[in-house]
Structure 1
């Protein structure tokens, strides 16, 4: 964890320090070395939140964009007694979870159900194949009458399968590896949870804009309004043209059935 309570103050780890876990109240010790980023660990091998993952520099750089008082917030379900630590919780209740490691669909679903108003930010460069797959798949993005909004008929050819059924927006961070489609500097790609027929909706967004709208409280209202409007009226198909002239590849191994992506049957 980035913070522990030292004299009831949120404090980052320094060599030799001891503190208290803000979530469970257990003793924590500072881990500071040359190979891992400075962090707090529970004394012994205790972990108070099974959803917690070891942090990387990628995690920390994202967290540092937000006020300290928004970081590592312990949230409790009063009905069930279940408690988890959100990476970020904004003043409007929006939870932002930064995910680097693999997450199984069951845990992803549980976290979305627990946090409700949330958005994922996913490290799009975790595996060697992630970035090349996206680069290959984005050649089939279909432009719409709304700048920066695209459709794709086989989203599994762009993004990891584990995220295709997410019930909340998933923002993929590919770093500074490539040029944007729309000329946006330092772009990220947001996969929306609502699918229009057999198409998935994707938005190309600027990193600074994402941070700004999550800081000032506009993210929730903007995304909710966009999904509401896209559900009411189909994006104007008369303006849709492929970004590049490409030859259609073999059909995807997955097909959308009743709003969920399932593996195609052989027969």
Structure 2
């Protein structure tokens, strides 16, 4: 933890200090060594927040994009008596959770149900293969699974499991993939400067937006993020509903050169089925 209570004040860890946990109010001590970032730790093993993970410099760097009084806010659910610490809770009640370590789908679902209005920011450099896999599929030649829409920066993805780590594919809230990491990875083309935002899949395809770091931080700070996301999802839900209605006119319809399935995926004439590309990693 970055903050603990000392009297009525929230303070950062300093050598030889003792405080109280902001979540469970139990004693914590300052850990101020040279190998890990300075932090607070409970004096004894305790059931505080089982969702908490050890912080890295990546976590701290992200948190520092927001005011200190938005960071590490304890939230309580009166109905279930659950209490958890949000990484960031904005003035507009948006929760940002920064996730570096692996997460079980059940825990991911539990967090989304608890926080409700939230967005994940995932360290896309945790595993060495994550960004190369994403880049390979994003730029792959041949039958592509990534399609630019009429809106700049918005893409339809047929097979998102080829691009993104599986634990995040069924998230009910937006997931931001940060492939920049701590900035130590060579990136001559500047491809890691932007984020890929995977939206909850509400229709036939997954939708991904490529957005700048500045735009994401600004919209989550000024309160526009939640409204824009909901507007975006509603728009594409309507579009997919129109597609479904049109597809009900027939299982297949043909042109002179191409045959299409109900969902509009092209079949090359002469083949009976569309063959899904094999996963190559």
Cα distance, 1:15 vs structure 2:
1.1
Say whether 1:212 aligns with 2:239: no
Gaps (5+ residues) in structure 2?
244-274
Q: Which has the higher contact order (CA 8 A, sep 6+)?
A: 1
Assess if the C-alpha contact under 8 Å between 1:4 and 1:40 holds in 2: yes
Choose which of 227, 231, 234 in structure 2 pairs with 1:221. Answer: 227
Assess if the C-alpha contact under 8 Å between 1:21 and 1:42 holds in 2: yes
Structure of larger gyration radius: 2
**Aligned-partner Cα distance in 1 for 2:147–2:40:** 46
TM-score by length of 1: 0.85
**Aligned-partner Cα distance in 1 for 2:32–2:222:** 34
The superposition leaves residues 48-102 of structure 1 with CA deviations (integer Å, 9 ceiling, x where unpaired) of 1000000000000000111111110101111111111100111111100000000
What secondary structure, in the 3-state scheme, does the structure 2 residue paired with 1:231 have? Answer: helix
Assess if the C-alpha contact under 8 Å between 2:197 and 2:211 holds in 1: yes
Could you list the structure 1 runs, at least 4 aligned residues long, displaced by more than 3 angstroms after superposition: 176-181, 234-237
Aligned to 1:107: 107
Assess if the C-alpha contact under 8 Å between 2:49 and 2:83 holds in 1: yes
Cα distance, 1:201 vs structure 2:
0.4
Choose which of 177, 182, 185 in structure 2 pairs with 1:172. Answer: 177
Aligned to 1:28: 28
Aligned to 1:143: 148
Query: Residues 180 and 203 (structure 1 numbering): CA distance in 2 closer, same or farther, change over 3 Å?
Result: farther
Cα distance, 1:40 vs structure 2:
0.3
Cα distance, 1:46 vs structure 2:
2.3
The number of residue pairs the alignment matches comes to 240
Gaps (5+ residues) in structure 1?
238-247, 254-267
Aligned to 2:201: 194
What secondary structure, in the 3-state scheme, does the structure 1 residue paired with 2:46 have? Answer: coil
Aligned to 2:160: 155
